Chains A and B, each alone.
Chain A
Amino acid sequence: MAPFELVAPATPDEAIAELGALGASDAVPLAGGTDLLFDLDDGRLAPRRVVSLRRLPWQTLDWNGPILTVGSTLPLRRLETDPEVRTRLPGLYTAVRAVGSVALRHQATLGGNLGRSAPASDLVPMLLALDAEIDLVGPQGARTVPVDQFVIGSRRTALRPAELIRSVRFPEPRPSAYLWQRVRPFRDISQMAVAVAYSPARARWRVAVAGFPPRPLLVPEVEDALGPVLPPARSDLDRGAHVLSTRAPIVGDKRASEAYRRQIVRPLLERAVRRASGEKAGS
């Protein structure tokens, strides 16, 4: 690890200024650090300044009617222990619990997971299926970006220089589920993951897949196939699973072959939709 200056500003404006004073590779923001520290330790990143966000007033969780707003530096463990999250956004609850261990989730944050945008993120696919919106603040002020436009590639986001993730907004409670396939069921990186949610407001299923490069993605053809109702008709679910398995741009990499991913994505979708529809998961 190369030496760096660690600063912990108390306000968002100061944090933005600390980041803006140096170039993007010379100053990096630090939230929970559970991902960033590996890059610092291995020398893949060698910034001159690390800007800790721990003093910012963003460790928040607010329900405003149907809308949930999660501050970007809230530890994931507090997100999963909120009783409303578990019942109103069950897929988000499951996805959060798929991240690392309890100890890690006491440290890791939603903002950090988004900002680092690993292709195997367990949270991004669920955020896609829930149509989460990302509130950003930066030198040019505040803006809001849908998560689908925020994560643009493997470890690439729409963040502008010195811009920070302030919070993540979920527009409505949704029946939802998240399922994954891993070599080791827990504390591992997903070979394949499926996030599904049903939007009552739009009368539409949302389906995202993840675990392969370059980034988690929504699959609208599958959503079309599933139809407008909860639970979907058996034949629609079959067709959706077939479309997902055959047409989604799934690729192979060192963690799993393309053929295996296409094979398992089918039962994963079927089980996830059944679970979101209130049936017990299982084969």
Chain B
Amino acid sequence: MSATARPDGAVKLAGAAVYGEDLDVPGMLWGALVLAPVAHGRRLSVDLSPARALPGVVAIGAADVAGLVDGGTGDPERPPFPSERVSYLQQPVAAVAAPTRSLAREAARAVRISVEPLPVATDLDDLFPEWPREKIEDPARVAAHVHARRGDVDGAFRDSATVVAETYRTASVHQVALEPHACVAEVTDGGWRVRTSTQSPFGAREDTASILGIPEAALVVEGTWVGGGFGGKGAAFLEPYALLLARAAGRPVRLALSYAEEFRLGRTTLPAVVRMETAVNAGEITARRVRLLLDVGTSLPGRDFATGYAIGFLLGPYRAPAFEVEGYAVRTNKPPFGPHRAPFAPQAAFVVESHLAAVARAAGIDPATFKARHLWREGDRTPFGQRVLPFGLASAFESARALAARWRSEAPPGQGVGIGLGFWSTSTGAGGEARVVLSPTELVILQGEREIGSGSVVVGLAQVAARRSGLPVEQVRVEYRDSAGAPFDAGVFGSRTVGALGRAVDAALVSLLARLGERLGSPGPVTLAVLDGEIVAVHGSGRRRVAELLTPAETAAGGLAADGKHYGRSGEIDESVVLDGAFYAFTDFTGAAHVAQVEVDPQTGSVRVLRYAAFHDAGVVVDLPSARAQVEGGVAMGLGAALTEEAIWSDDGRLENAGLVDYRIPTLREVPPIEVHFLEGFPGAGPFGAKGLGEPPIIPVPATIAAAVRDAAGAHVRELPLAPERVARELKFR
């Protein structure tokens, strides 16, 4: 399949692409959120009158949206506004809109807030200093509890020759999308309408309608170009506030976060503490015990499923005959936990890879040999009893080991080489639908997702259609429609765009080609081609111009249309091992092995990454340049999580580094040359056997860097990120 120039390249280079942050419509007001001054408090009282006294200012608070609080979701942390209790610092408690941006800020500052402060909980170690020896029994603290067990775990630990127990800590990391959340809302007699920068127009519509208590059909969501999402723009966030302000004002209202607000209010990955215990006998793992405390901020009791999802990544991708896992989603006074590219999987891979290497060393076995012996392979059962589908991780690991051996032979003292493994699964989401329209000159894919930057929409979907139809990809155009005009799709997240929405596009193409076949009277397969600038249908040795195959009505409507949908399902787990909570199965199995060569300063602990290689099983790659770019971007992002990125929360619940000065993402200087390799032969659940590639590239990175740091300097670091001070504490050669 041929590579293609990015169809969105020209409009973006010209500055003509309108992002949410660019929205500016005639007559609009500027909105601003009024934010809580404490991280935890009660008897909240918000006096909007000083703001309303300013010229042209509209202000809304809890009293103005009575009945909408809880938004039908039962979640007081969800918009619109809390009426009595504040749960995290800078939680929105009211909103204002004004004719200018500066007046909006002034109005927000003018609102008088009184609240009685309560003790603030932010730190897992402070909350549960004796865990896991102590039980966690305060139900208000626990948003979710998951527990599963298989086999005689206690017996295996008792009877095994080697037992290793370690505690790991991982940091809170932000998505750091270039574009903050931004939208413009309007409420007219015709209904509610919001233009917004979102990874999921339909998800935003569903959430927003639920919060506002209106039918979904009454709300139109139009996606703008998206300046990066990384999971942070997958659910409704500003849209309900903007719509409520617009209704109160009777004019369009623009609401956008500042970059500091983006850090402070954003839903992201929060800190975790992991206790890992592994028993080994005669070189074989006999049992594993995994315990997790996952900070989920103000997520509601019983409503958080992150824990069961996260813990699955702490067990795999290694076989263990007996295991016990127990995880708590712990509520703290931080914003609710939210998805960040492969939520918690990079952190989990760091823990699993570092721990099993330590276990192997304790048992006197080469870590790579030990890991390869236990790695999941096709046909194995996961700890939760799911059969492993085609899975290229073991092959990727073999390739990585060969390269690592070569790099290590070339590395001078002070440098080291490490390997890290990671696995993932393509999400189906709630499913997706697409329509294709074939005219005499082009094939158009109509669908409801905006390109978020990866190319998965504008290139990935086009490549699927090109491959199915036989057309050159340049003859395929992806056209966006708003939620009123597009068929449903779950969203651009979970590495699912090509894998799930691509299946819907493929199904639509199959249907379209079948109808052309009927018109041609051809029982055999029909493909499309271009002849003298016109599209022709090819069947056997014959060919007919598409123009001749369309009815007059179809010609008038722009072409022959066909619809496709894909509502996929993941596999099933063995529920007999589940003692409490929910665990999740995989749709397919995606794996990656990474290799890094680093230099560690033996006195300061500074780590420099010198070169990097990534071996990915991505099933069938539908667009090689986009796939390579995804891996390079994921590795760069992962280097941040590995080395420098860490949101620091003070004891009073304040995010201390709410900006790019002290929240350090890698710059190009910190990103080394990256080799990218794809392993073929392990098909996934997507079209033609494609697997999702949005998230997998970030997953092995912290594990890989940690392994390389240990190789270089003997430092076994059990905490992310591997900032110099942390590495220095573990240095053996000080």
Contact = CB atoms under 8 A, between A and B. Distances in A.
Contacts of A255: 662
Interface string A226-258: 000000000000000000000000000011110
B724 interface: yes
Interface stretch (A62-70, A74-82, A178-186, A195-203): A178-186
Interface stretch (B312-320, B378-386, B602-610): B602-610
B602 A254 contact: no
A191 B606 CA distance: 12
What is the size category of the interface that chain B forms with chain A?
20 to 34
A263 interface: yes
A189 B661 CA distance: 8
Nearest to A264: B604
Contacts of A3: 102
Interface stretch (B326-334, B344-352, B664-672): B664-672
A264 B667 CA distance: 24
A181 B662 contact: no
Contacts of A182: 724
A267 B723 CA distance: 18
Contacts of A191: 724-725
A186 B667 CA distance: 8
A191 B662 CA distance: 11
B725 A254 contact: no
B712 to A, nearest CB: 13
Interface string A28-66: 000000000000001000000000000000000000000
Interface string B401-428: 0000000000000100000000000000
Given A257-B725, A264-B728, A283-B602, A183 B664 contact: yes
Contacts of B606: 181, 185
Interface string B245-275: 0000000000000001000000000000000
A86 B667 CA distance: 26
Nearest to A257: B725
Contacts of A256: 725
Interface string B626-646: 000000000000000001100
Contacts of A283: 414, 601-603
B370 to A, nearest CB: 33
A184 B728 contact: no
B656 interface: yes
Contacts of A189: 661-662
A187 interface: yes
Contact of A184 (B602, B648, B670, B725): B670
What is the size category of the interface that chain A forms with chain B?
20 to 34
B341 to A, nearest CB: 20
A184 B656 contact: no
A6 interface: no
Interface in A88-104: none
Contacts of A257: 725
A183 B602 contact: no
Nearest to A192: B604
A2 interface: yes
A159 B133 CA distance: 59
B644 A267 contact: no
- The CB with the most chain B CB atoms within 10 A, among A2, A3, A183, is that of A183
A277 B41 CA distance: 59
A184 B666 CA distance: 8
A67 to B, nearest CB: 35
A1 B414 CA distance: 49
A257 B608 CA distance: 22
A184 B662 contact: no
Contacts of B602: 283
Contact of B723 (A183, A185, A187, A263): A183
Contact of A260 (B601, B656, B725): B725
B256 to A, nearest CB: 15
Interface in A252-283: 254-257, 260, 263-264, 266-268, 283
A43 to B, nearest CB: 8
- The CB with the most chain B CB atoms within 10 A, among A2, A42, A185, is that of A185
Contacts of B724: 181-183, 191
B102 A267 contact: no
A183 B603 contact: no
A13 interface: no
A1 B725 contact: no
A188 interface: yes
A146 to B, nearest CB: 30
Interface string B593-607: 000000001111010
Interface in B670-692: 670
B608 A185 contact: yes
B499 to A, nearest CB: 35
Nearest to A271: B603
A185 B604 contact: no
A268 B666 CA distance: 24
Interface string B160-185: 00000000000000000000000000
Contacts of A254: 648, 656, 662
A267 B604 contact: yes
A157 B602 CA distance: 38
Given A1-B102, A185-B608, A254-B648, A267 B603 contact: yes
B332 to A, nearest CB: 20
A254 B647 CA distance: 12
Contacts of B666: 184
Contacts of B608: 185
A255 to B, nearest CB: 8
Contact of A183 (B414, B644, B656): B644
Contacts of A187: 667, 669
Contacts of B601: 283
B664 to A, nearest CB: 5
Given A263-B728, A267-B604, A185 B669 contact: yes
A188 B669 CA distance: 12
- The CB with the most chain B CB atoms within 10 A, among A255, A263, A267, is that of A263
A18 B414 CA distance: 57
A235 B286 CA distance: 56
Interface in B176-232: none
Contacts of A184: 643-644, 664, 666-667, 670
Nearest to A41: B258
Nearest to B667: A187
Contacts of A2: 102
Interface in B706-726: 723-725
A179 B500 CA distance: 52
Contacts of B728: 260, 263-264
Contacts of B667: 184, 186-187
Given A2-B102, A3-B102, A186 B669 contact: yes
Nearest to A3: B102
A71 B648 CA distance: 40
B482 to A, nearest CB: 34
A255 B664 CA distance: 12
Contacts of B102: 1-3
B603 A264 contact: yes
A188 B644 CA distance: 11
A267 B728 CA distance: 13
Nearest to B666: A184
A185 to B, nearest CB: 7
Nearest to A255: B662
A257 B725 CA distance: 8
A185 B671 CA distance: 12
22 contacts: A1-B102, A181-B604, A181-B606, A182-B724, A183-B723, A184-B644, A184-B667, A184-B670, A185-B606, A185-B669, A186-B669, A189-B661, A191-B724, A254-B648, A255-B662, A260-B725, A263-B603, A263-B728, A264-B603, A266-B603, A267-B604, A283-B414
Given A184-B670, A266-B603, A283-B602, 14 more contacts: A2-B102, A183-B643, A183-B644, A183-B664, A183-B723, A183-B724, A184-B667, A186-B667, A188-B664, A191-B725, A256-B725, A260-B728, A264-B728, A283-B414
Top 4 closest pairs, chain A to chain B, by CB: A267-B603, A184-B664, A260-B725, A264-B604
